[in-house]
Structure 1
Amino acid sequence: MHRSLPTSQGNGVIRRKHKKGQEEEQAKKRTRRTQKFQRAIVGASLTDIMAKRNMKPEVRKAQREQAIRAAKEQKKAVKASKKTTAPAKVKAPQKSKASRVQPKSAPRVGGKR
């Protein structure tokens, strides 16, 4: 079926865009860019964050290694205390479970489904 131009689907859009008498070009609308800004988060105030950020990498690395060392020492101490306090456990013999006999299902009646 042949359609006339005024009724074709995209034609209204094209006509609106290319109106008579619009000689000057329109400037493109500028998009707003999001701006980054710093704020405090839960568990760290802005001053703490800025102090960590302004630290020299060597200092931060040394702090990190010291924290790791302390954590390892604590872990070793906990493990050692567990070894000394835990007595040898005697395992109780396990009870055997009685197996249940399942009833057989009724035969299916009928041919193909």
Structure 2
Amino acid sequence: MATLVKTDYLNIIKSAFENHEISKEYSIDINCFERNENYPNSEGIHFESKIFCGEIFMYFGTMKYLEAQFVIFETGSDNTIIKDDLDKTEIVNEINQFLDSRTMELKNIV
């Protein structure tokens, strides 16, 4: 009988975020979370700088989906994506695309 191997979504998300240019260009505090009690099972990060904040979480259990939110304080811009049933490569790609768009938005206001 095959054993189920738990995917380490937290490290996938954290690594994708830390390797993205946005984390290198801005001073960002990152907090990691694993939610199980009173939430759907999820792993992810909350990040915050002086000009923006956001969260990227992977929810898993009966449904599996990536949710990312990004708020720019000065403009009140609030962007959210939800993507269903992604593998590791797709998670990283979605995070990169989401952060690329936010980086372009930040460059227009900073």
Q: TM-score, normalised by structure 2?
A: 0.21
Instruction: Looking at secondary structure, tell me which structure has more strand per residue.
Output: 2
Larger relative contact order, structure 1 or 2 (CA cutoff 8 Å, min sep 6): 2
Q: TM-score, normalised by structure 1?
A: 0.20
- Structure of larger gyration radius: 1
